[in-house]
Amino acid sequence: MKTLEDVVYKQVSEPKEDCSGRPVLLSDETMRERYEKVLARMKEEKIDTLVIYADLEHGSNFEYLTGFLPRFEEALLVLHSNGQNYMVMGNENLNKVPFSRVKATPVHAPCFSLPNQPMEGGKSVLDILKEAGISGNARIGIVGWKNFTGSQEDNRHLFDVPSYIVDRIRLLAGESGEVFNAAYIFIGNKGVRCRNNVNELEHYEFGAALASDCMLKAMNRLEVGVSEMELGDTLNAYGQKNSVVTIAASGKRFSKANLYPTENTVKVGDPISLTIGYKGGLSSRTGYAAEQSFQLPVEVRDYVDVVVKPYFCAYAVWLEQIHCGMKGDELYQLIENVLPKAEYHWSLCPGHLTADEEWMSSPVYDGSEEILESGMLFQIDIIPSVNGYGGTSAESTVALADAAFREEIKEKAPLLWKRIEERRNYIESELHIRLHPDVLPMCSTVAYLRPLLLSKNMAMALSPNLHEAKGE
């Protein structure tokens, strides 16, 4: 197991930008596979009707089957076990139904439109839902975006869908029917979205690599006097939809509750926070605007030793130990052992699944019996918090792939595989982290961490020849 003595801060060659610049669309075969997986789970769970809700911020389960988000309106995709499908759409998204990747009958719902748009049509919400085939004496699963997993109440009866929809579905179901939260079908344990095929991996790698490239550009642009807005401009690219609010912050954050980059400029000794996320992956970096530790405030000049080295040690352990077939609790305990929560005050899951949204779900938590599977797409998301010090972060994206899946990627996506091999070689030869064979870096900056961001040739690494010295 790694120790703090194994972690060094040294001169490191930076990784190269390697986003392909070519988004990979999901194939018809992939979209059929997705639909069939959902139908199969409906059959397993004896679900007659699945009602999938979407708005712009909470539409990934809807997008998984349709291929698009409803922009600025609400929408429903209603699937029936008999193969009949309906799309309930507002004024400005009704015309998108013919383009949906899953075939469905359109149902116009003016109430899903923007405020004060025409709401005429002569049909109540209840009548609209009836038109979509929702009826009594049926098991009806409602899917928002959140799979509730708390132990305080019955998660099956917690809904993150507007009450005016849920209440009327309950009315239609009547006493003979059953209405429950079915988001687990998509993102829970064994959820259909938790594993990706080769085409999906290519699709998501574009965003993960783009976020990484933009982060590398922003780190290289970071100098004394550059503004947060200039950094933010560097982080955003190609008009792609962000999966999170872009962060480019120097100094004190959230002044007057503001989340967004301002004209504030970088000053020596400022804590720095940078985050950019796209479909398929997020990159974040946190550190200080300094070349050397003596430029930091006196009370945090030991920042690299106190905060960064323990974090990087845990990060390296994560990459070297995670593998297909391990339980989520096993990974959780590994991080707890090397980076004790009581001392470093991380509170979220140390690693989570990502896809169209930044945080989809996580199989990594205390006591988790969930199995980490081939095809999962992970964010390395460990967030230490040490009182009095700025944070540290090198959040990036990796995929898990067993031997069979790796061979399939080599065959079907040789250019992707070439990038993966080059990334693995960089991490192992330059940073001296011996990746588990199941770990596929989805971007070039995995594990690349500059704690003092004005020193651009220095980064964290493990000691050279560490594994040989320990007989590993």
Cα distance between residue 386 and residue 434, in whole Å: 28
Q: Give ranges for CATH 3.90.230.10 in the chain.
A: 4-24+193-469
What's the mean pLDDT when you consider all of the chain? Answer: 96
DSSP state for residue 368 in the 8-state scheme:
-
pLDDT of 119 higher than 90: no
CA pair distance 104, 106, nearest whole angstrom:
6
Superfamily in which the 4-24+193-469 domain is placed by CATH: Creatinase/methionine aminopeptidase superfamily (3.90.230.10)
With beta carbons less than 8 A apart as the criterion, state whether 67 and 101 touch: yes
pLDDT value at position 287?
98
Pairing mode of beta strands 178-181, 139-143: parallel
Summarize pLDDT for 152-190 with one digit per residue, the tens. Answer: 999 999 999 999 999 999 999 999 999 999 999 999 899
What is the edge-to-edge ordering of all strands in the sheet holding 352-353?
A: 352-353, 377-379, 397-400, 439-441
- Average pLDDT of span 111-125: 87
Query: Mean of the pLDDT values across residues 294-305?
Result: 97
Flag whether pLDDT at 2 surpasses 90. Answer: no
Report d(CA 322, CA 187) in Å as an integer. Answer: 20
**pLDDT value for 470:** 61
Tell me if the domain spanning 46-181 has CATH number 3.40.350.
yes
The whole-angstrom separation of Cα 377 and Cα 202 is 11
Q: Kind and range of the H or E element at 379?
A: strand 377-379
- In this predicted structure, the answer to whether residue 302 has a pLDDT above a threshold of 70 is yes
Q: Which residues contact 163 (CB under 8 A, 6 or more apart)?
A: none
Residue 118 predicted with pLDDT over 90:
no
What is the pTM (predicted TM-score) of this model? 0.96
pLDDT tens, 11-62?
999 999 999 999 999 999 999 999 999 999 999 999 999 999 999 999 999 9
Query: Mean pLDDT over residues 414-442, rounded?
Result: 98
Q: What residue spans in the chain does CATH classification 3.40.350 cover?
A: 46-181
Residue 97 has pLDDT above 90, yes or no: yes
Does pLDDT of 254 surpass 80? yes
With a CB cutoff of 8 Å and minimum separation 6, the contacts of 414 are none
